[in-house]
């Protein structure tokens, strides 16, 4: 029964397309209404700058196939207006093209203009030049800020109108958002913050877009703004206006990764439980954040210390593959909820409390009823009597009965395959032996003054330490601070143990004294302000100190986050210490006097130089890099500040491409001039906190289910096929190695399904699939009856069908995908007394 229902639902919903004529979008206290019809809206976040135009059609199609009817995206101000009044909507910033791709697939769109986005995006999406406008205060009643915010928001709204992209014009955009999670930080801004919220609402309404506007996490959102919920669970959320529907703009499908941290995961059982409870308790709009996380190309990751990967453990992984079983289990839920749209949005609602956190919720409309049985107990299953029929609801789960009689779906019973992804070598190399890339190199060197005391191409010299982003406008991660001072023959600091002390909010510092590297240090454990201290040797006469300050993503969240300092904040001191041993006897053996001499340098003349030489020479770009001499011999390894370059063949096929940067330390990488982001393999995650198993039951947090302990936070880096040239050996990889590493182990690979397994319940249809043209080559295990074990270690139980294996082999071998009716009529009788299950493992 469940199997046939799902097949009918899938056939109906996956071929729906939206009309291109104008739609009337409004809302009441129950739901968003489109042309007078209340809708169940299932949305997923896909951020266009975190993917590429070549990926968009596939991502959006997979979202639709996964049962979604809406796509959500932020709009990224600093990406589009990196320089004031100069706009960029090209390449993966082509917002119009992205939204038209959504429309072409027959889906609605939610446009979260913000323009503050958070999103673990650099500076929360604000352009850094904004910070440097005199008199500005972010996100509050401030004329300078509000003028800039209004200008950019108007640019976006006018562009959408010009392209007829609002639903009122026949486009896909049915909802827009102004501001973002401001209610979480409004206390930092006092009464001016409250007035700012009203101003935002007035601005949004002034555009007359013909679609509703939302404000997420804004409990005092002015009417007609709809306040919405963000979080792991939103079933208990109530909007502040009885005329507003219950909307969940961010259901966090996982969590982001940070350098030096483990990989967080959220189980699909818990995620589905959260979704089902939300709709059980009256929700009608739900958006996954993220549905596809993607990649922080360039220097777009925020934090600080957000990784280049923004995989987020989303239903579609970073590369666009189906993250199974998450994608498949949620697809079944989506299609079922959409089939119940009429009764959920119009029906009367009543509840039956069974105690011990177990509730039945019944929706009734026009003689039809649909039921949710929810068990919020994290430990105990619940058995309930509903209308003289007994039902068992597993702990921390929701059962859905669209006819209030037959259980069609339970959030804890996963009937989708689990895919085991593998990295495969570059088949284009076509060598019997493992292919080794041929490298060239070029030294970056470090900055210093010439014999006249001048620094070539410096920006300015001033008698103070300046905040880094105020100097760079965030055009580079790197800023040189260079100063000098004289030491005379009779200087009291001579003959003492001399130390350089630098207070920095860097997040990384590299220090050079008189042309010699004396040390490097980076912030750890979330403490981005630290003191760098190293012993140094001084010369009689002129001494030069060159400090390279490095940022690794600017803050993106919190009250007044824009004011967080970066760079060398000071003081900067040279300290000479001497132990006066002749007093030791008088003071006792355990006591002595230290004499200190300090040279304070914070108000010296400091010369500032932005970026690296290689950045200015555009060594990352094949068009420009050939203008400079590269060396093929004596390749240096474990040496800081080196540029490496190699060529490679584009991997064949259609599977996603990654580059394994194992062996490198920290730096930045480019393919054919396209940045694939920062890398940092030398920063290992803690050895603690990971587990090979994860209990889905109980409230989730991002520290609950972690993997990858003791390993680099990110080893593989996505190379979209848009970035590659099809010509053999006509692709260039350039890396800037900041810390020192070894490029010889770097290799290109593809990502695909290596194997898949499932443990499906009787009464369902199990879909098994490889990808990218790969086919099922072997059924490693199959047992229908009472199998035991887990994926990779299944075993037969006490009863099973003798014909299940041969039936599955016939249905699947040699095919990219196959469907298995999990029933005795298809797989053969088992003789089991309990409900049968099918355990199967395939090799692709």
**Residue 148 annotated in active site:** no
- Pick the closest to residue 174 from 110, 115, 247 (CA basis): 110
237 Rama sector, left if φ>0, alpha if ψ -120 to 50, beta otherwise: beta
Tokens (6 digits) for 394:
């597993």
How many of the other CB atoms lie within 10 Å of CB of 223? 11
HEC profile for 162-182?
A: HCCCEHHHCCCEEEEEECCCH
- CB-based contacts of 332: which residues, under 8 Å, 6+ apart? 6, 67, 409, 415, 416
**Residue 767 annotated in active site:** no
Concatenate the DSSP letters of all residues of 399-454 into one string. Answer: EEETTSSS--EETT---SPEEEEEEEE-GGG--SSPP---EEEEE-------TTS-
Quick check: 767 and 837 in contact, CB under 8 A? no
Query: In degrees to the nearest 10, what's the CA dihedral of 263, 266, 267, 269?
Result: 180
C-alpha to C-alpha distances, 463 to 481, 565, 608, 713, nearest whole angstrom: 12, 19, 11, 40
Q: Which of 72, 81, 148, 250 is catalytic?
A: 250
Token look-up 């500040």 returns 641
C-alpha to C-alpha distances, 128 to 84, 122, 143, 677, 717, nearest whole angstrom: 10, 9, 18, 19, 26
Would strands 247-252 and 285-292 be described as parallel, antiparallel, or unpaired? Answer: parallel
Cα radius of gyration rounded to whole Å, the chain:
30
DSSP 527: B
CA–CA dist 14, 22 (Å, integer):
22
C-alpha to C-alpha distances, 840 to 418, 454, 695, 784, nearest whole angstrom: 10, 71, 22, 8
Looking at the chain, how many residues does it have?
844
DSSP 649: P
Tokens (6 digits) for 614:
């290689």
Q: Which of 81, 105, 181, 767 is catalytic?
A: 181
Would strands 368-375 and 358-365 be described as parallel, antiparallel, or unpaired? Answer: antiparallel
CA–CA dist 42, 275 (Å, integer):
10
3-class secondary-structure state, position 793: coil
Token look-up 């915010």 returns 149
CA–CA dist 739, 729 (Å, integer):
29
CA–CA dist 43, 174 (Å, integer):
12
C-alpha to C-alpha distances, 780 to 1, 817, 819, nearest whole angstrom: 29, 16, 17
CA–CA dist 234, 540 (Å, integer):
67
Concatenate the DSSP letters of all residues of 442-510 into one string. Answer: EE-------TTS--TT--EEESS---HHHHHTTS-SEEEEEEEEEE-TT-TTTTSEEEEEEEE--SEEE
Show which residues are catalytic: 181, 250
């Amino acid at each position: 029964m469940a199997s046939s229902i799902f097949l009918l639902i899938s056939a109906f919903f996956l071929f729906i397309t939206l009309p291109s004529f104008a739609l009337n979008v409004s809302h009441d206290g129950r739901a968003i209404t489109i042309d007078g019809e209340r809708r169940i809206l299932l949305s997923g976040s896909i951020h266009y700058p975190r993917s590429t135009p070549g990926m968009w059609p596939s991502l959006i199609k997979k979202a639709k196939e996964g049962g979604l009817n809406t796509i959500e995206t932020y709009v990224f101000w600093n990406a589009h207006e990196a320089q004031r009044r100069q706009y960029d909507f090209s390449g993966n910033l082509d917002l119009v093209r992205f939204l038209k791709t959504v429309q072409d697939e027959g889906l609605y769109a939610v446009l979260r203009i913000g323009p503050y986005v958070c999103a673990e995006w650099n500076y929360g999406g604000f352009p850094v030049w904004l910070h440097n406008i005199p008199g500005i205060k972010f996100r509050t009643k401030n004329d300078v800020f509000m003028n800039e915010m209004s200008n950019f928001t108007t640019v976006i709204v006018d562009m959408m109108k010009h392209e007829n992209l609002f639903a009122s014009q026949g486009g896909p955009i049915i909802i827009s958002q102004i501001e973002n999670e401001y209610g979480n930080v409004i206390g930092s801004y006092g009464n001016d913050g409250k007035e700012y919220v009203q101003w935002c609402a007035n601005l949004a309404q002034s555009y007359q877009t013909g679609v509703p506007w939302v404000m997420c996490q804004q409990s005092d959102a002015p009417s007609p703004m709809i306040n919405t919920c963000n979080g792991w669970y939103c079933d208990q959320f109530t909007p502040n206006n009885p005329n507003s529907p219950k909307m969940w703009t961010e259901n966090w499908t996982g969590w982001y990764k940070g350098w030096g941290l483990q990989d967080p995961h959220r189980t699909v059982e818990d995620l589905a439980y959260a979704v089902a409870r939300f709709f059980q308790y009256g929700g009608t709009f739900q958006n996954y954040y993220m549905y596809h996380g993607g990649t922080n190309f360039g220097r777009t990751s925020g934090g600080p210390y957000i990784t280049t990967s923004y995989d987020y453990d989303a239903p579609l992984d970073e590369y666009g593959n189906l993250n199974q079983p998450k994608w498949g289990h949620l697809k079944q839920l989506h299609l079922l909820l959409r089939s119940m749209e009429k009764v959920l949005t119009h029906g009367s609602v009543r509840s039956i409390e069974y105690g011990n956190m177990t509730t039945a919720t019944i929706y009734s409309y026009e003689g039809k009823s649909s039921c949710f049985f929810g068990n919020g107990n994290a430990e105990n299953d619940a058995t309930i009597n509903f209308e003289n029929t007994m039902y068992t609801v597993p702990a921390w789960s929701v059962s859905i009965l669209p006819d209030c009689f037959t259980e069609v779906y339970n959030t804890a019973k996963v009937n989708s395959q689990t895919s085991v992804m593998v990295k495969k070598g570059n088949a284009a190399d076509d060598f019997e032996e493992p292919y080794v890339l041929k490298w060239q190199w070029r030294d970056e060197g470090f900055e210093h003054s010439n014999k006249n005391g001048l620094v070539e191409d410096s920006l300015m010299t001033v008698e103070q330490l300046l905040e880094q982003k105020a100097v760079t406008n965030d055009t580079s991660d790197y800023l040189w601070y260079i100063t000098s001072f004289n030491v005379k023959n009779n200087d009291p600091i001579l003959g003492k143990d001399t130390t350089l002390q630098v207070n920095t909010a860097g997040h990384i510092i590299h220090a050079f004294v008189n042309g010699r590297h004396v040390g490097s240090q980076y912030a750890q454990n979330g403490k981005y302000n630290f003191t760098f201290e190293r012993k140094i040797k001084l010369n009689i006469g002129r001494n030069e100190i060159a400090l390279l300050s490095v940022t690794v993503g600017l803050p993106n969240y919190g009250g007044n986050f824009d004011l967080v300092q970066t760079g060398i904040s000071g003081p900067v001191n040279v300290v000479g210490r001497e132990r006066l041993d002749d007093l030791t006897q008088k003071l006792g053996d355990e006591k002595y006097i230290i004499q200190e001499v300090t040279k304070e340098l914070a108000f010296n003349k400091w010369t500032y130089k932005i970026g690296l030489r290689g950045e200015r020479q555009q060594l990352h770009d094949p068009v420009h890099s050939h203008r400079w001499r590269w060396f093929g011999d004596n390749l240096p390894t474990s040496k800081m500040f080196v540029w490496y370059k190699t060529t490679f063949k584009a991997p064949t096929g259609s599977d996603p491409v990654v580059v394994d940067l194992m062996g490198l330390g920290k730096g930045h990488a480019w393919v054919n001039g396209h940045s694939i982001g920062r890398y940092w393999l030398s920063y290992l995650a803690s050895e603690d906190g990971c587990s090979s198993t994860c209990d889905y039951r109980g409230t989730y947090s991002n520290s609950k289910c972690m993997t990858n302990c003791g390993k680099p936070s990110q080893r593989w880096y996505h190379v979209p096929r848009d970035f590659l040239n099809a010509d053999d050996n006509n692709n260039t990889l350039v890396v800037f190695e900041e810390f020192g590493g070894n490029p010889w182990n770097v290799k290109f690979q593809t990502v695909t399904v290596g194997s898949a397994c499932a443990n499906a319940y009787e009464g369902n249809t199990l879909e098994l699939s490889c990808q990218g043209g790969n086919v099922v080559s072997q059924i490693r295990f199959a047992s229908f009856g009472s199998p035991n074990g887990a994926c990779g270690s299944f075993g037969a139980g006490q009863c099973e069908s003798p014909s299940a294996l041969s039936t599955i082999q016939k249905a699947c071998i040699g095919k990219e995908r196959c469907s298995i009716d999990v029933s005795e009529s298809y797989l053969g009788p088992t003789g089991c007394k309990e409900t049968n299950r099918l355990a199967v493992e395939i090799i692709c």
